[in-house]
Amino acid sequence: MTEFSRAEVCAAAIADAFAEDGEIFASPMGMLPMLGVRLAKLTSNPDLVISDGESLFLGGTPPLFAKADVVEGWIPFRRVFDVVAYGKRHVMMGATQVDKQGNQNISAIGDFAQPKRQLLGSRGAPGNTVNNRTSYWVPKHGPRVFVENVDIVSGVGPARAKAAGPGASKYNDIHRIVSNLAVFDVKGEGDTVRLLSVHPGVTIDEVIEATGFELSIPAEVPVTREPTETELMIIRNVLDPKTLRDREVPPVTAEATK
């Protein structure tokens, strides 16, 4: 059996989230999402449009944080909002909190008027979630991230979008939540977070224990697929030769999986 790391499983799971997207702007926030999106572009979905994270659409698929590449377009910040409204975009964002209804918070922890901890601000999350496909990446799955109700709703889950009317729900599409333990969608009963697969070496009980709300769990929960030989070669030799991925998702020791 081929050896692979948890980070590599996550990269393949993130790539799978973008596999069926066709020719759209894949917009990853953070290192593992960037790795996963570029992996998808080199394997399942070569039509993906990717950027340097700043202002350029890239013609090629360079390694993480590499600068030089063919340029195929210009995407300064202002034009990102045009693409958001146009809809041909799939963003994978971080989430300081995500709740049972698939709402996400990156604004602040505690009361908005005087938060216990001020975070970034809602950034583009409110607009992303009512305009284009949105996924979340959680590198450290735990009950403080997966909470019953987020303190502040930045990203809008399907139930809240529906309650706000068709203007909000028409294009609301929370596609995947990928964590270091498992993969989810928000298609559980009553638009709740549903477990889709657990990563190799992770049990369903571990996921339940690390989640601060009651998950929707289907009768059959498969194991997240292993990365292929080709994917591992691309991740290790092309996209991330410096193994930056292990900083975000540290390798799981044999001890920890017992």
Partner 1 sequence: MSKPRDKQMTIDEVVAQLSDGMTIGIGGWGPRRKPMALVRAILRSDLKDLTIVSWGGADVGLLARAGKIRKVIYAFVSLDSIPLEPNFQRARQNGTIPEVVELDEGMFQTGLYAAAQRLPFLPMRAGLGSDVLVNNTWIKTVTSPYADENGDFEDFTAVPALKLDVALVHMNRADAHGNATYLGPDPYFDDLFVQAADKAYLTCEEIVDTAGLTVDTAVQRLLISRMAIDGVVETPNGAHFTTCTPDYERDEKFQKAYAAAAGGTDEEWTAFEQRFLAGDEAAYQAAVAAFAAEEAAK
Binding residues for partner 1, rule CB under 8 A, total 46
Q: What is the enclosing helix (H) or strand (E) of 50?
A: strand 50-51
Structure tokens of 37?
């999106």
Structure tokens of 50?
């990717």
Name the minimum Å distance from CB 197 to partner 1: 28
Neighbours of 197 (CB within 10 A): 18
Q: Is 115 in the site for partner 1 (CB under 8 A)?
A: yes
Site map for partner 1, 1-40, x if CB under 8 A? ----------------------------------------
Among 1, 117, 255, 258, binds partner 1 (CB under 8 A): 117
Name the minimum Å distance from CB 248 to partner 1: 14
- 33-92 positions binding partner 1, by CB under 8 A: 54-56, 76-78, 81, 84-85
The alpha helices in the chain, defined as continuous H runs, are: 6-18, 31-42, 77-86, 125-131, 158-163, 166-169, 204-209, 229-233, 245-248, 254-257
Contact between 46 and 210 under an 8 Å Cβ cutoff? The reply is no
Site map for partner 1, 129-168, x if CB under 8 A? xxx--------------------xxxxx---xx-xxxxxx
Structure tokens of 80?
């990102």
Site map for partner 1, 196-215, x if CB under 8 A? --------------------
The alpha helices in 19-142, defined as continuous H runs, are: 31-42, 77-86, 125-131
- Residue among 36, 30, 24 at smallest CA distance from 61: 36
- Residue among 49, 59, 54 at smallest CA distance from 25: 49
Q: Which of 121-129, 136-144, 228-236, 243-251 is the region at the interface with partner 1 (rule: CB under 8 A)?
A: 121-129
Q: Is 93 in the site for partner 1 (CB under 8 A)?
A: no
Name the minimum Å distance from CB 87 to partner 1: 10
Catalog residues that contact partner 1 under the rule CB under 8 A.
54-56, 76-78, 81, 84-85, 107-108, 112-127, 129-131, 152-156, 160-161, 163-168, 170-172
